[in-house]
Amino acid sequence: MQNKKVVLIAEDEATLRGAIKDELTREGISVIEAKNGEEGLRIALSEHPDLIMIDILMPKMDGLAMLKKLREDPWGKNVDFIILTNVSDFDEISRAMKVSEVKDHESFEYLIKSDVKIEDVVEKVKKKLGI
Partner 1 sequence: MKIRTKINLSFILAFILISSIVGAVVGIYTTGIIKNNVYLYLSSGSRAKAEHIRTFILEQESTSLILAAGSAYHDFLMTAENSIEYPLQKEKIVKHFKKTLEAEPNIYELLILDVKGKIVAASNESEEGIDKSTDTFFTEAKNGAFFKDIYFSTVINKVTYAISAPIKDDDGKFLGVSVLRYLPENLFSIIKNENGLGKTEENFLINKDKIFISPSLFLGDSVILNKKIETKNANDCFNEGEIEYVKKNGYVGLKEFFNDNQINEALDYRNVDVIATHAYIPETGWCLITKADRAELMLFRKTLLIIFIIIFVIASLIYLLLSYIISKRITKPLDVLQIGVNKIQMGDLDYKVNTGTKDEIGVLSDSFNAMVMAVKQSRADIDIKVGEQTKELANKTEDLESQKLAILNVLEDVEKEKRQVEILANDLIKFKLAVENTSEQVFITDVEGMIVYSNKSIENITGFKPSEALGKKAGTLWKLPMTLDYYKNMWDIIKNQKKNYIGEIQNKRKDGEIYTARLNISPVLNDKNEVIYFVAIERDISKEKEVDKAKTEFVSLASHQLRTPLSAINWYTEMLLAGDAGPINEEQKKYLNEVATGNKRMVALVDALLNVSRLDLGTFMIEPEPVNTKEMAKSVIAELQPMIKEKKIEIKEVYGENLPIFNADQKLLRMVLQNLLSNTFKYTPALGTVSLQMRVIQKGEIFGEKVLSGASFAISVGDNGIGIPERQQDKIFSKLFRADNARESETEGTGLGLYVIKSIIDKSGGDVWFKSEENKGTTFYIILPDSGMKKREGTKKLN
List interacting residues with partner 1 (CB under 8 A): 13, 15-16, 19-20, 22-23, 26, 57, 86-91, 113-115, 117-119, 121
Q: Is 64:84 a contact under the CB 8 Å cutoff?
A: no
Backbone angles phi, psi at 98, to 5 degrees: -60, -45
**Beta carbon of residue 117, minimum distance to partner 1 (angstroms, whole number):** 6
Q: Is 83:56 a contact under the CB 8 Å cutoff?
A: yes
**Beta carbon of residue 94, minimum distance to partner 1 (angstroms, whole number):** 10
The smaller minimum CB distance to partner 1, of residues 13 and 73, is found at 13
**Beta carbon of residue 77, minimum distance to partner 1 (angstroms, whole number):** 25
The smaller minimum CB distance to partner 1, of residues 63 and 76, is found at 63
The smaller minimum CB distance to partner 1, of residues 16 and 97, is found at 16
The smaller minimum CB distance to partner 1, of residues 2 and 15, is found at 15
d(CA 45, CA 98): 21
**Beta carbon of residue 73, minimum distance to partner 1 (angstroms, whole number):** 27
What single string gives the DSSP state of each residue in 60-124?
SS-HHHHHHHHHHSTTGGG-EEEEEESS--HHHHHHHHHHHT-SSGGG-EEEETTTS-HHHHHHH
